[in-house]
Structure 1
């Protein structure tokens, strides 16, 4: 019961991997679960309750189940220990605490499978008891019932009830090979319903062969046909047993079920016992039918015959028997007047011929009577006395049939009279007790009490039991002891109790199985506390030896390196001192391990597997190994041994899997912790590198750049001392200056002059210069070459050393020697320190580089544009806030893409822009305001700027005025420029002008050179990125949004942008 469908599906999958025959019914509420239990209680063997439930009433649900008398185990899958405790206190039989571990579901499936087994065993125990009672009940009814039909109807009904079958049918075989329905329960067939002999059906084959048959699935079983009309429709499984022996076959009893595999071998044995009882009843009925009328009306009859077989005398009893008066018979030949009397003729003639008295028994069909005939011959005739012996023969037949019934039953059956003396026993009783029948009959129950004692310690239990079920320990003739179950019921005849009938069933195997199963359960619970593989393996060996008694057990684990099974207990395993030998990679034990199936195999006693054992159980432990056990000598393991070892091996496999999973989890946690530490260290290195990059940009000189790098490195938590050196200065006489050392006190700074020019540090410096690669000492304390420097490491707190070359264009500009506080501090740096060296190298190479620059004079002009023709002016008036133009990108069709900034609400700007621009888009918003992209139609302002070679510096519009700031080349007259603007925007006026003179290369010259180097698409891409805030931090736009501006894909846009950036960088640094 769970409201989580995924949980139910996962449990179904786990149970299927253990036992594909288990069926899971998923319900979501307690009400639905109760409905299932009420409608089909026998079909449910276990309840799995996911707790807590939505209503939190799991405890009330469990108590309600047991209050209603529903005997089914409840396994709780609890979310926590507290919920599990509440459910167990309410009556739950077992629980598992759920977590995120996928192995938990496998463990829950194992616990559910075990609960199913225990429930099945308990139900099987109850079923066998009920079956014994029904056999006794039907047997008693067969001896006391007036007619056969009621006995058959009662038998069909009781068999259907006790087996929970869909139908039970008793067929009578007819002389013509057909069958008739003698009794039926569970389907609509009427008594006497005739059926043709359907060859190949289960019932017909059972009738012909006399052997009982069991079918688990009619759809898959190809042995028989399911004939339409020969039984109920829709059965999935069935069994049948013949009624009567080979010479006296009467019919067959057939049972059908709607579920596949509904019946067991024990059910077949029960059906055979019922068939034996029914067979005895039918034989008794056949004789009784022939004699019943005679028993009601006949006395002794007397007849006389002369030598010619003419009747000379008949008495009234004979008259009634002949069906005619004496007058009609006297003087006639008996063979002529009563042809049916010919059955006596042979014996009568023999008596006359020999002239000797003849005594015989003969059945007279006309009167349906058995007679004891005494014929006395003389010279003149024959005198015959007919004595009605029908009743006497009936009693004899009943006794004979009852004896057959008792002999056919596999269990020991006995009958006691009203004084507690044995009145009858069957052969099974003699075999079980070792007492002969002649000695038992007439003896009191004390005879058996001498050899039987109750399991509760009462020696009189058998003698004192009048009815019910008692378990006894019975001593056998071979001085052994078997556990028997005595089920005794009163024998009532005519409403009066005349004695009792009992059944003794040998339950030794079942009792042993239950006891060993309980022991295995206890050992399993103990093993669950084991925390390592060795403890589990030791406990498995001990449990196996304890459960199987005198068994000898060995464990073999799979060695993946050698792909063989290696004995546990060999030297070094911690489980004793046993011969190592070679690993097993062939033979029966290996085959069992490979197949994954429990097998009983034969091995040589000296084969090195299990000493002194020839037949062993090989139980695989999954991928871990195999458990091998057996009894000494040639004693073969029985089915109970195999099943118990199978359960034990499954538990050991689960525990080993759990321990491995926990170990893997711990190792994963360790790796994650190490990765987190490495990522944290890399994050600190990244932060340090960013700071270094900023300092390199600001450093005006090479020396200040070197010092800035060293200071940032030593400020990081991972590094204690950092010093730098010019690569060209590194030789045997090199001494670092004091201003080049950072983080070290004066004493160690002075020692560095000595240390840097000697081994082992100097070779590291040389290697860094020669290879242009970082050189690392992972741990100074563990490196023998640094033994003389361990004192410095301990005193100044460093463990690892790295020499980082600053490389530019395959040339080492400088070296940085970093002393780290932790060992392996430079491991897993993901190449960041190497990248840092290259960045610093190029920065140093560029320091001091100067290029010749050209000088150009320009005029800064600021004007106020008149009118409202300008798109930006109209936009400012509509939103009522200031609007600034960040820049424009011209298009080939004369339109421009303008990037506009404003502190107005983005929605208002977008709404107003739709009336001004052909496209408007909100790019981003930050503390300074919002950025928008507008595609504007042809604008005269930008054409005037282009024609005047002017550079737009600013364009700001408010609701009342618009101001333009631009740089105009000196050769362009300012008045002409203002007039050109006024012609398009009437009312334009000059606000200010200023001429500038730059001693370096003018931006215009540099821009012109770059514009020449870029393609049109590259220029548009980098300019759009600049105007859209792509290079600001945080970025105000992304490559994806900029790609939408040009209606191209993001990768294509990034390709053009990277190409433009590369050309710009090359132009700056070359």
Structure 2
């Protein structure tokens, strides 16, 4: 680089010793030089810098060259020493100080030529090192690559790169003399492309001769033909090397360049090294293919590792075990790619360290498999064979388990060879037969035949030829006899019978069990015919004695009243006349009964449960009891005993349940029959009641109603005689009239007058009146109190008597005395007769009220009330003056509004009334005294008056006594009325009574008619006006005041009052 053209030309002429391949390019500025370096850095071998530059940046220029990684020498032609020093410090290779001396340019040319030589030598050295590295790289790849093609492709590509060749081709020689392109770089080649075997081309001649060749220029070299199909067109130079020795020639590698003389002898040597590596790779591939074919046919998993534990080989079995393909695992460190394989690491590393083969067994969790591992080490790696021994180990474990089972099994097991000699026996065989194993092995079956006899009577009990199942009686070493079952089957190995295997099973208990079970079955069938509990229990005891032999049996039944188990019969028999002792309510037998489980219970010898037995079987019989049985002394019952007793107890329980169910069924049938009879009787009673109801509706008078009821009753099938009486007439002098008696002849009707007023009938009549409940004599013939009347009962055909009160509003209207032919006639009547009495009672009461309205027959009664329960009595005592009740208005809640007059001071009455009434109001005062309105709580007096249909005429109270004047209907007994008052006001007494009779319409009849005409509000309004002095003059109350009484407005009150007055006036003047 110089801005002086003459300097560049002079330098070019001074470099006359350079070959034609070296040229000088002249650039004038650092920028142009940098551009040249970027575009053709590989072709530049030396830089000559004329310094200083125009910008004085020669040092920067030199540093930039090396900073860009361009490794070429820089020779500086400096104008002075200072400039040269700066350039050298920046990194220049050499320098020359220019002066006017003509030899300076020659000296500069020398320095440049020397730098070029050193650069060429350094580059050649670097190329050789790179070539050796590539040889090593391809060699390593050849050892680790899975397939040959990838190795050949890699070799062709790397050779082209390192030689800067235009193309590299690897040919494989085929058996027919043709060539196949195995790999290529620099041109698109088909691996199936073949070359003709014609001589003359460089590659073919190299393959045939086995010698490497170098061509500097194909145009000038006449040794070879340049075949167009050998590579891309236009190569100028080339070289080739044979792959494989003379004995086995595999192919050839050919390299071409676009420049003449591009390759040197060193490059040929490099290519030969590459050919040797590729030849080794092809040979290894062929050997590996043959070895892989062998290893692939193995069931074992085979793996190969190098010294760094990289995987070099896996067969298909190993691929399956790893769960990875060969491509995925080859070349990787096994511990990294398959971490779970670390379970083998310790053994593998020990084998490599000692360089000794290793054999071990290891479980592989991933495959749940056991492997027998054989590892064979070498200096370069390790070959490992994995054999799946899981099934083998399982067979070994299974065989060991079978051995232990045979040793532990209770049955005697033996094996015979094909000649009938014992080949093997287990310990149970020795115990059963008493023969030692050493004596038995090798002996014939005759050794056992002399101690065995067939149960079917055959001559040969235990023969080598016997097969199937045979029962034998075998004598044991202790001179006993056991029943055994010999089950023998052929032993077949590989389709050939080599002997037999047999099992001798002790079936003594089973044989005894079957025999006893048959006996128990027979006894059970006999018990099925038993019809009562005692027969079943007796059969159970007999069955225990027969099945268990010398057993002693007791039966205990559950006593619900005492909550304990009570012995049945005498000890040792199960049944008998032994007195019943104390019951069991604790202990083992009781626990077995409570749990419902059959148990073996230990008893004290003198425990008193079963005499002489210390261990018994307690078998519950459900809710019925428990069966206790056992052998005398300390002999313990065995499992067979327990099971047989369990079966027996279950059968007994079932039979007892059946007997109880049948008894319950019979009882239910009896109850149903009785119920049917009762329903039939009730149906008749219902029919009678319906007829009575219809007659009551039609009866115009009370007497006719009573007669109709009696007639219908006596017409019923169950009733022989019926008579009736008015409740008010029943006293010690009462005599039923003949027209009141129905169903009896004249003699007995006359006799009833005597019977009705004497015991025991008269107390029944009184009790019916007092209690208002039906009174019954269930059976006259069985009742001692009626002993004197048995003759009448037998003569007139009655057994039971009932007194039915006709009740209405807790008052007895009449009595009906019914004589029935059946003792059960009045049992379970479901209350129909009582309902009949109420129905008749209300009908009679209604008839009585109608009679009263028509005849106005009433009784005037004056009574002195006792005690101070009455509100008016307490008020008179508190104010100390007389108090009179003018009238009351009842309210729906039971309270009443009372209008009271008194000459006491109004303030005193109001003050005293606050403690008695819920509300007190002074209405007015005049010459006759003061009028007060009191709201009183529920009073029993008014309820009694209403219930007796009595009319209150006066109620006057003084500080010392209270007098009630009322009218009572004649049909109401005055005595009952006074008694009702006395029950609420103790000390009440009758002062006077008088019966009034007026054929004209009475005020009561008129009042009743008006009460029907008025509404409730109208009646209350006009009655309140009357009682409060509204109609007196001057008025003692006003409409406003009365409206306050009912909590309504004055106009509303006046509306109701005017309506009531209008109806009253209309009734009077119509």
Normalising TM by the smaller chain, what interval?
A: 0.3 to 0.5
| 1:155 aligned onto 2:169 | no
Contact (CA 8 Å) 1:159, 1:168: kept in 2 or not? yes
Q: Secondary structure, in 3 states, of the residue corresponding to 2:550?
A: coil
Q: Secondary structure, in 3 states, of the residue corresponding to 1:781?
A: coil
Listed one character per residue, the Cα deviations across residues 829-852 of structure 1 (whole Å, up to 9, x for unaligned) are 344334433444454455465589
Q: Secondary structure, in 3 states, of the residue corresponding to 1:72?
A: coil
Which residue does the alignment assign to 1:169? 169
| Aligned CA-pair RMSD | 45.0
Shift of 1:603: 1.2
Contact (CA 8 Å) 1:15, 1:22: kept in 2 or not? no
- Provide the C-alpha distance between the structure 1 equivalents of 2:722 and 2:107, rounded to a whole number of angstroms: 57
Contact (CA 8 Å) 2:544, 2:645: kept in 1 or not? yes
Contact (CA 8 Å) 2:295, 2:315: kept in 1 or not? no
Per mean C-alpha deviation after superposition, the further-off stretch among 88-97 and 1027-1036 is 88-97
Relative to structure 1, is the Cα distance of residues 825 and 645 closer, same or farther in structure 2, using a 3 angstrom cutoff? same
Contact (CA 8 Å) 2:852, 2:858: kept in 1 or not? no
Per mean C-alpha deviation after superposition, the further-off stretch among 754-763 and 949-958 is 949-958
- Provide the C-alpha distance between the structure 2 equivalents of 1:108 and 1:747, rounded to a whole number of angstroms: 189
Shift of 1:1016: 9.5
TM-score by length of 1: 0.42
Per mean C-alpha deviation after superposition, the further-off stretch among 880-889 and 593-602 is 880-889
Listed one character per residue, the Cα deviations across residues 284-308 of structure 1 (whole Å, up to 9, x for unaligned) are 9999999999999999999999999
Please list every run of 5 or more consecutive structure 1 residues that lacks an aligned counterpart in the other structure.
Answer: none
Contact (CA 8 Å) 2:696, 2:843: kept in 1 or not? yes
Contact (CA 8 Å) 1:281, 1:401: kept in 2 or not? no
Which residue does the alignment assign to 1:832? 832
Contact (CA 8 Å) 1:862, 1:992: kept in 2 or not? yes
Q: Secondary structure, in 3 states, of the residue corresponding to 2:968?
A: strand
Contact (CA 8 Å) 2:420, 2:464: kept in 1 or not? no
Relative to structure 1, is the Cα distance of residues 549 and 495 closer, same or farther in structure 2, using a 3 angstrom cutoff? same
Shift of 1:487: 1.7
Shift of 1:607: 0.6
Listed one character per residue, the Cα deviations across residues 139-197 of structure 1 (whole Å, up to 9, x for unaligned) are 99999999999999999999999999999999999999999999999999999999999
Relative to structure 1, is the Cα distance of residues 612 and 471 closer, same or farther in structure 2, using a 3 angstrom cutoff? same
Shift of 1:779: 0.5
Q: Secondary structure, in 3 states, of the residue corresponding to 1:887?
A: strand
Contact (CA 8 Å) 2:541, 2:574: kept in 1 or not? no
Shift of 1:211: 78
Q: Secondary structure, in 3 states, of the residue corresponding to 2:855?
A: coil
Listed one character per residue, the Cα deviations across residues 382-409 of structure 1 (whole Å, up to 9, x for unaligned) are 9999999999999999999999997666
Contact (CA 8 Å) 1:276, 1:409: kept in 2 or not? no
Per mean C-alpha deviation after superposition, the further-off stretch among 463-472 and 265-274 is 265-274
Contact (CA 8 Å) 1:1030, 1:1038: kept in 2 or not? yes
Shift of 1:774: 3.0
- Provide the C-alpha distance between the structure 2 equivalents of 1:461 and 1:1060, rounded to a whole number of angstroms: 127
Contact (CA 8 Å) 2:417, 2:499: kept in 1 or not? yes
Shift of 1:486: 0.7
Listed one character per residue, the Cα deviations across residues 477-514 of structure 1 (whole Å, up to 9, x for unaligned) are 33332221112234567876565443212122333344
Relative to structure 1, is the Cα distance of residues 829 and 471 closer, same or farther in structure 2, using a 3 angstrom cutoff? same
Q: Secondary structure, in 3 states, of the residue corresponding to 1:655?
A: helix
Which residue does the alignment assign to 2:131? 131
- Provide the C-alpha distance between the structure 2 equivalents of 1:117 and 1:657, rounded to a whole number of angstroms: 130
Contact (CA 8 Å) 1:291, 1:368: kept in 2 or not? no
Relative to structure 1, is the Cα distance of residues 717 and 180 closer, same or farther in structure 2, using a 3 angstrom cutoff? farther
- Provide the C-alpha distance between the structure 2 equivalents of 1:305 and 1:1060, rounded to a whole number of angstroms: 131
Relative to structure 1, is the Cα distance of residues 231 and 804 closer, same or farther in structure 2, using a 3 angstrom cutoff? farther
Shift of 1:558: 2.0
Q: How many residues align?
A: 1070
Contact (CA 8 Å) 2:471, 2:483: kept in 1 or not? yes
Shift of 1:778: 0.5
Shift of 1:820: 0.3
| 1:146 aligned onto 2:115 | no
Which residue does the alignment assign to 2:609? 609
Listed one character per residue, the Cα deviations across residues 309-364 of structure 1 (whole Å, up to 9, x for unaligned) are 99999999999999999999999999999999999999999999999999999999
Shift of 1:223: 90
- Provide the C-alpha distance between the structure 2 equivalents of 1:259 and 1:674, rounded to a whole number of angstroms: 139
- Provide the C-alpha distance between the structure 2 equivalents of 1:16 and 1:575, rounded to a whole number of angstroms: 153
Shift of 1:720: 0.9
Shift of 1:95: 129
Shift of 1:711: 0.6
Where do residues 650-689 of structure 1 align in structure 2 (5 Å cutoff)? 650-689=650-689
Contact (CA 8 Å) 1:212, 1:240: kept in 2 or not? yes
Which residue does the alignment assign to 1:334? 334
Q: Secondary structure, in 3 states, of the residue corresponding to 2:876?
A: helix
Listed one character per residue, the Cα deviations across residues 245-270 of structure 1 (whole Å, up to 9, x for unaligned) are 99999999999999999999999999
Shift of 1:800: 0.4
Listed one character per residue, the Cα deviations across residues 530-584 of structure 1 (whole Å, up to 9, x for unaligned) are 4443333333333334333333332222222222221222699993234633211
Contact (CA 8 Å) 2:853, 2:1005: kept in 1 or not? no
Per mean C-alpha deviation after superposition, the further-off stretch among 452-461 and 841-850 is 841-850
- Provide the C-alpha distance between the structure 2 equivalents of 1:101 and 1:735, rounded to a whole number of angstroms: 194
Contact (CA 8 Å) 1:799, 1:819: kept in 2 or not? yes
Relative to structure 1, is the Cα distance of residues 452 and 802 closer, same or farther in structure 2, using a 3 angstrom cutoff? same
- Provide the C-alpha distance between the structure 2 equivalents of 1:16 and 1:549, rounded to a whole number of angstroms: 143
Contact (CA 8 Å) 1:846, 1:1069: kept in 2 or not? no
Listed one character per residue, the Cα deviations across residues 680-705 of structure 1 (whole Å, up to 9, x for unaligned) are 33332233233223323333344323
- Provide the C-alpha distance between the structure 2 equivalents of 1:197 and 1:482, rounded to a whole number of angstroms: 98
- Provide the C-alpha distance between the structure 1 equivalents of 2:113 and 2:537, rounded to a whole number of angstroms: 23
Relative to structure 1, is the Cα distance of residues 789 and 249 closer, same or farther in structure 2, using a 3 angstrom cutoff? farther
Listed one character per residue, the Cα deviations across residues 698-718 of structure 1 (whole Å, up to 9, x for unaligned) are 333443233212111101111
Relative to structure 1, is the Cα distance of residues 120 and 993 closer, same or farther in structure 2, using a 3 angstrom cutoff? farther
Relative to structure 1, is the Cα distance of residues 252 and 1047 closer, same or farther in structure 2, using a 3 angstrom cutoff? farther
Per mean C-alpha deviation after superposition, the further-off stretch among 98-107 and 775-784 is 98-107
Relative to structure 1, is the Cα distance of residues 694 and 608 closer, same or farther in structure 2, using a 3 angstrom cutoff? same
Which residue does the alignment assign to 1:643? 643
Shift of 1:585: 1.5
Contact (CA 8 Å) 2:557, 2:625: kept in 1 or not? yes
TM-score by length of 2: 0.42
Relative to structure 1, is the Cα distance of residues 504 and 594 closer, same or farther in structure 2, using a 3 angstrom cutoff? same
Relative to structure 1, is the Cα distance of residues 435 and 997 closer, same or farther in structure 2, using a 3 angstrom cutoff? closer
Shift of 1:667: 3.4
- Provide the C-alpha distance between the structure 1 equivalents of 2:982 and 2:220, rounded to a whole number of angstroms: 101
Contact (CA 8 Å) 2:321, 2:367: kept in 1 or not? yes
Please list every run of 5 or more consecutive structure 2 residues that lacks an aligned counterpart in the other structure.
Answer: none
| 1:343 aligned onto 2:343 | yes
Relative to structure 1, is the Cα distance of residues 821 and 486 closer, same or farther in structure 2, using a 3 angstrom cutoff? same
Relative to structure 1, is the Cα distance of residues 99 and 777 closer, same or farther in structure 2, using a 3 angstrom cutoff? farther
Q: Secondary structure, in 3 states, of the residue corresponding to 2:852?
A: coil
Shift of 1:231: 64
Listed one character per residue, the Cα deviations across residues 831-875 of structure 1 (whole Å, up to 9, x for unaligned) are 433443344445445546558999999999999999999999999
Q: Rg larger in 1 or in 2?
A: 2
Q: Secondary structure, in 3 states, of the residue corresponding to 2:443?
A: coil
- Provide the C-alpha distance between the structure 2 equivalents of 1:328 and 1:887, rounded to a whole number of angstroms: 122
- Provide the C-alpha distance between the structure 2 equivalents of 1:794 and 1:7, rounded to a whole number of angstroms: 181
- Provide the C-alpha distance between the structure 2 equivalents of 1:771 and 1:463, rounded to a whole number of angstroms: 102
Per mean C-alpha deviation after superposition, the further-off stretch among 871-880 and 934-943 is 871-880
Per mean C-alpha deviation after superposition, the further-off stretch among 457-466 and 791-800 is 457-466
Contact (CA 8 Å) 2:887, 2:898: kept in 1 or not? yes
Shift of 1:917: 53
- Provide the C-alpha distance between the structure 2 equivalents of 1:607 and 1:242, rounded to a whole number of angstroms: 116
Listed one character per residue, the Cα deviations across residues 52-92 of structure 1 (whole Å, up to 9, x for unaligned) are 99999999999999999999999999999999999999999
Relative to structure 1, is the Cα distance of residues 24 and 744 closer, same or farther in structure 2, using a 3 angstrom cutoff? farther
Relative to structure 1, is the Cα distance of residues 584 and 752 closer, same or farther in structure 2, using a 3 angstrom cutoff? same
Relative to structure 1, is the Cα distance of residues 470 and 340 closer, same or farther in structure 2, using a 3 angstrom cutoff? same
Per mean C-alpha deviation after superposition, the further-off stretch among 579-588 and 286-295 is 286-295
Contact (CA 8 Å) 1:359, 1:374: kept in 2 or not? yes
Per mean C-alpha deviation after superposition, the further-off stretch among 672-681 and 891-900 is 891-900
Contact (CA 8 Å) 1:280, 1:402: kept in 2 or not? no
Shift of 1:519: 4.1
Q: Secondary structure, in 3 states, of the residue corresponding to 1:853?
A: helix
Shift of 1:466: 2.0
Per mean C-alpha deviation after superposition, the further-off stretch among 865-874 and 647-656 is 865-874
- Provide the C-alpha distance between the structure 2 equivalents of 1:119 and 1:544, rounded to a whole number of angstroms: 126
Contact (CA 8 Å) 1:895, 1:935: kept in 2 or not? yes
Which residue does the alignment assign to 2:462? 462
Per mean C-alpha deviation after superposition, the further-off stretch among 356-365 and 1008-1017 is 356-365
- Provide the C-alpha distance between the structure 1 equivalents of 2:230 and 2:892, rounded to a whole number of angstroms: 93
Contact (CA 8 Å) 2:309, 2:334: kept in 1 or not? yes
Q: Secondary structure, in 3 states, of the residue corresponding to 1:17?
A: coil
Listed one character per residue, the Cα deviations across residues 652-674 of structure 1 (whole Å, up to 9, x for unaligned) are 33443444344444434433443
